Amino acid sequence: MKRRITILLCIAALLCGCNGGTQFQSQGGIMELASHITVHQENNGYYVRIANPWKKGTLLHTYTFTDSLDTDYKYSRNENTVHVPLKRVVVMTNSMAHLLVELGVEDCIAGVCEPEYISDSLIRARLADGTIADCGNSMYPTVEKIMELHPDAIMVSPFEQTGYGQLEKLGIPLLECADYMETSPLSRAEWIRFYGRLFGAAVKADSLFNKVQQDYTALKETASKTISRPKVMLDTRSGSAWYVAGGNSTIGRMIADAGGDYLFKDNNGSGSVPLSFETVFERAQDADVWLLKNSGSVKLTYSLLEQDFKSYSSFKPFKERNIWVCNVNQVPYFELTSFHPEMLLGEFISIFHPEISSGRYFYHPLDE
């Protein structure tokens, strides 16, 4: 999943056009916060519309999920009918696999992609004994293996203007899991409620999301009472450009919720924009905190950071040794934080406001 991790690390940078999509919510729907999905309960199941995050005002997919056994699936970008509850699925992302364990429906996982990037002990044990199959690379899955598993559905991550190749021809429902395109931490987490309903675990899913929302809201309230607002910058250059997340991105909103002052909050987009080093330096040279993610096999240090690009040492957080790094190859950052934003919010609060200690798991101070 090296390619998948690279995509996820750069996702905000690559999806510059994802400035929000349409607010598809309407009265009577099950989802209350998510902006890219509506879920309406019907007599025998649910009617679901997923907004196209890359083309405002259009739909990515519509589904009718029904407990009627009389269903005939044929891949279509329009409406598909899928039988629920799902009993056997192939999962393309580690965050989804972990969520299914949390929902107590791990027995439904028939196969996963890129298991080397899954840290969940239960799933790893089942991979070892063959109960869960390795379906290859998430970008180029092993179609033959998926066919052997006879899954009820394949849970895929959609990308702009990207099809699913041979998977579209298998006659197996493709469920486009666009939760990662939501523009606020809790709106993404609310997709837990949708996924729970696919597996007959609505009560468990609602309870899990309610706890996430409760904890996140409480942490946000704590941060709102702090006096200081440290100035925060993110990431590093990628090639010749520095991709800067918008103020309405998930990470931009979380920094604000944690009591930080995101230095590019005036960029109202939810995606990222490529800026020159000079532009970023002019704005962020006097930042108080610098947050980094990396996925290298070599431990990142101040020395290596400066070797990579000498001008990094001109930023205040470099000079004052207030850079924090998360190595996503060493901790399950995406696996856990996708549906548990309260975990990351707590860490940001403790970094921005050391007097409020909630422990840290993902980020640590950059070493010399």
User: Could you tell me the residue ranges of all domains in the chain?
Assistant: 2-214, 226-365
Q: How many CB atoms lie within 10 A of CB 222?
A: 17
CATH 3.40.50.1980 is right for the domain spanning 2-214: yes
**Among residues 61, 54, 55, which one has the least CA distance to residue 78?**
61
Assess contact for 3 and 157: CB atoms under 8 A. no
The H or E element that residue 304 is part of is helix 302-308
Could you tell me the two tokens for 137?
A: 């690379």
Check if 2-214 and 226-365 are the same fold.
Answer: yes
The two beta strands, 133-134 and 37-42, are unpaired
**Counting Cβ atoms within 10 Å, is residue 239 exposed (0-12), middle (13-18) or buried (19+)?**
exposed
**Among residues 196, 156, 152, 159, which one has the least CA distance to residue 31?**
196
- Beta bridge pairs of residue 65: 46, 82
Token pair 């309903």: residue: 197
CA distances in angstroms from 233 to 255, 278, 281, 364, listed in the order given: 10, 14, 10, 16
Which one is the CATH code of 226-365: 1.20.1090.10, 3.20.20.70, 3.40.50.1980, 3.40.50.300?
3.40.50.1980
The SS3 call for residue 357 is coil
- Beta bridge pairs of residue 273: 244
**Among residues 343, 293, 283, which one has the least CA distance to residue 316?**
283
Could you tell me the two tokens for 68?
A: 């009627």
Rounded distance, CA 162 to CA 174, Å?
13
Rounded distance, CA 333 to CA 344, Å?
9
CA distances in angstroms from 70 to 41, 65, 67, 79, 81, listed in the order given: 19, 12, 9, 16, 10
**Among residues 110, 132, 113, which one has the least CA distance to residue 121?**
132
pLDDT at 2: 41
Assess contact for 137 and 113: CB atoms under 8 A. yes
**In tens digits, what is the pLDDT along the chain, a chain of 368 residues?**
444 444 444 433 333 333 333 344 434 589 999 999 999 998 889 999 999 888 888 999 999 999 987 667 777 777 889 999 999 999 999 999 999 999 999 999 999 999 999 999 999 999 999 999 999 999 899 999 999 999 999 999 988 877 888 999 999 999 999 998 888 999 999 999 999 999 999 999 999 999 999 999 999 999 999 999 999 999 999 988 999 998 888 999 999 999 999 999 988 877 788 999 999 999 999 999 999 999 878 889 999 999 999 999 999 999 999 999 999 989 999 999 999 999 999 999 999 999 987 778 999 999 99
Report yes or no on whether pTM surpasses 0.85.
yes
Q: How many CB atoms lie within 10 A of CB 2?
A: 12
